[in-house]
Amino acid sequence: MTTAATERDALAGTVARAAADVPGVAFLRPGLADLFRPSARTGPPRAAAGRAPAGVRVSRASATGPWEVDVQIVVHRDRHALTVARTVRDAVTTALSATAPGAQVTVTVTNAV
Amino acid sequence: MPGDDGLLAVRAAEGDEDAFEALVRRHAPGLLRLAASMLGSPAEAEDAVQDAFVSAWRRLPEFRGQSAFATWMHRIVVNRCLNMLRSRRPVTDLDSVPEPAAPDHSVSPVRAAESHAAAVALGRSLSELSPEQRVCWVLRELEGQSYETIAETVGISAEAARGRVFRARRCLTEAMTAWR
Amino acid sequence: MAMNSGAELPGSGTGPGSGGADVPAEDERLACGRMLSEVWEAWEDGADDPARDPHLRACPHCSAAVRQLDLLGAAVREAGGGREPEWDAGALTERVMDVVRLELRPGRPLPLGEREEDLWVREAMAAKALRAAAETVPGVRAGSCRIRPAESGGSPSRGPVRVRLEVVVPLTPRLRDLAEEVRRRVRGAADDALGLPVDHVDVHITDVTDPAGADPGGVGAEEGNQP
């Protein structure tokens, strides 16, 4: 694995943890629904170790350009989607302030459960 | 309430999986019964109905409500069963003949044994019908459908549907007569 | 009747007088001269009413043929009677939905919050919230809910959206007021549940249901169309 890829995966891990901890976030999309529904017998395969977590995409246009972070979340039904999305954006921005200052964070609410 | 199906189907077509879940819950029991009588096996019936619903979810965006959701779903299940019957090996596998229910103890032992044997005979001769005969017969005998509806569902002419039901009855009544 | 395709039964040599050259392979001419297929069909159509065809009831051959079908029917009911397992539609529903949730159709991204923000909500989720809001009006059921950018231009647009919602409503002389109430609640939910800036809500009444449960008279698309 290249250094760049390692760095990207590390950033993605940071983003996923910061986003998942925000109140009102049920899980990151796609796919971790099975963790939250013990009744489900089948479900998506868990992300293989070392691969970017579900629901997070990290990229940059050039080696020195700002990081672009895309987070897809599923929120709890009774939560205000915009408020949760803003809190996720702020939490992710803060979490990246040391390692990737100036990162552009996009948050998409894909569903409510 | 079936009038509600149309609304739920529209929602599901627009990506509302909760609406689809309500439709699945509502229609699964009837479709399972239908598939079981066509396939003669509860396990296969569950597979058929599950596949049919998944296929329906995928095709819903093209479902324009030309027919009722129940009719559309019914057709998908029938075709799924037909394909499963066709893909079975043509030789009659006696192990696949469904095990009839335990005798009902409210009737006399002799009577119970008789109806048990009749059910076995029926199950066995059902498995000897061609897939088309079996499906047409189930739709006619158990679902009470018109030959026109059967024809439309199976994709043959009404006359052909009539012929298949007749042949199925011929085959089954002979088996019943032989058993008696 | 075409009877010559598919799996053929052994020739019907069982009945007296069966199988003339003019008889299709699997049909059978009964001793009385009637075709078995005709007798069964007449029985099915309810034509065994003696007033309509006294022969069917009187003829021993025809009634024997009909009795065969009755016996078959009895065996079918017998076999079906106890055999139907307790279908666990719940488990089946879970399995179906597990697959469906891996193949969701979330729809287009719609802008959340202010124009300069980079926050989005998918159409299918937003539509669910708006339908639910419409259904807080007693008796109202929501169907199609389409949400589109109100302004043309950049894709995806950051501008406010236009909502087109179809509803079935209970019969009332004040349809316009009802549509207005639906519109108000949809706007409220766009704000309070989502944070989705809305330019316009079209409420289309596609059907009216009688609260007494009787006749659902379609009234076409009554339109309430103010922003």
Cβ contact B3–C216 (<8 Å):
yes
Residue C7 lies in a domain: no
Supply the pLDDT for residue B14.
96
What is the rounded CA–CA span in Å between residue B79 and residue B37? Answer: 14
Name the minimum distance, in Å, from the CA of B72 to any CA of chain C: 17
Across all residues in chain C, what is the average pLDDT? Answer: 81
Host domain of residue C165: 109-224
Residue C89 lies in a domain: no
Cβ contact C125–A109 (<8 Å):
yes
Residue C97 lies in a domain: no
* Averaged pLDDT, B145-161: 92
Do C146 and C42 share a structural domain? no
What is the rounded CA–CA span in Å between residue B162 and residue C13? Answer: 22
Domain boundary among C80, C98, C120: C80
Residue B57 pLDDT grade (very low, low, confident, very high; cuts 50, 70, 90): very high
Residue A63 lies in a domain: yes
For residue range B110-151, what is the model confidence (pLDDT) as tens digits? 555 666 777 777 888 888 899 999 999 999 988 889 999 999
A66 touches chain C (CB under 8 A): no
Host domain of residue A93: 3-37+51-101
Residue A96 pLDDT grade (very low, low, confident, very high; cuts 50, 70, 90): very high
Do C217 and C113 share a structural domain? yes
Residue A112 lies in a domain: no
Residue C20 lies in a domain: yes
Domain boundary among C36, C59, C80: C80
Cβ contact C83–B54 (<8 Å):
no
Residue C99 lies in a domain: no
Chain A hits for C129, Cβ within 8 Å: 81, 112
Of residues A89 and C52, which shows the higher confidence score? A89
Residue A43 lies in a domain: no
Rg (CA), chain A: 14
What is the rounded CA–CA span in Å between residue B29 and residue B104? Answer: 23
Residue C103 lies in a domain: no
Do C133 and C29 share a structural domain? no
Q: Specify the number of domains making up chain C.
A: 2
For residue range A2-56, what is the model confidence (pLDDT) as tens digits? 677 788 888 999 999 999 999 999 999 765 444 444 443 344 444 444 455 678 9
End-to-end CA distance of chain B: 44
* Averaged pLDDT, B17-33: 95
DSSP string, C105-138: ----EEEESSTT--EEEEHHHHHHHHHHHHTTST
* Averaged pLDDT, B48-73: 92
Name the minimum distance, in Å, from the CA of C177 to any CA of chain A: 28
Supply the pLDDT for residue B110.
58
Residue C90 lies in a domain: no
Supply the pLDDT for residue B3.
58
What is the rounded CA–CA span in Å between residue C34 and residue C2? Answer: 18
Supply the pLDDT for residue A39.
40
Does the predicted interface ipTM exceed a cut of 0.85?
Answer: no
Do C113 and C76 share a structural domain? no
What domains can be seen in chain B, in order of their start residue?
Answer: 1-92 (1.10.1740.10), 95-180 (1.10.10.10)
Domain boundary among C31, C64, C80: C80
Name the minimum distance, in Å, from the CA of C189 to any CA of chain A: 10
Of residues C72 and C4, which shows the higher confidence score? C72
Do C143 and C70 share a structural domain? no
Do C212 and C144 share a structural domain? yes
Q: Specify the number of domains making up chain A.
A: 1
Do C70 and C168 share a structural domain? no
A39 touches chain C (CB under 8 A): yes
Q: B59-68, B71-80, C125-134 — which is least confidently predicted? A: B59-68
Residue A113 lies in a domain: no
Do C136 and C37 share a structural domain? no
- Which residues in chain B (1-20) have CB-CB distances under 8 A to chain C? 3-4, 6-7, 10-11, 14-18, 20
Alpha carbon C5 to its chain centroid, in Å, reads 34
Percentage of residues in chain C with pLDDT exceeding 90? 47
Do C182 and C113 share a structural domain? yes
Q: A101-105, B171-175, C98-102 — which is least confidently predicted? A: B171-175
CATH number for position A10:
3.30.70
* Averaged pLDDT, C155-183: 92
For residue range C96-144, what is the model confidence (pLDDT) as tens digits? 999 999 899 999 999 999 999 999 999 999 999 999 999 999 999 999 9
Residue C121 lies in a domain: yes
Residue A78 lies in a domain: yes
Do C20 and C73 share a structural domain? yes
What is the rounded CA–CA span in Å between residue B74 and residue B70? Answer: 6
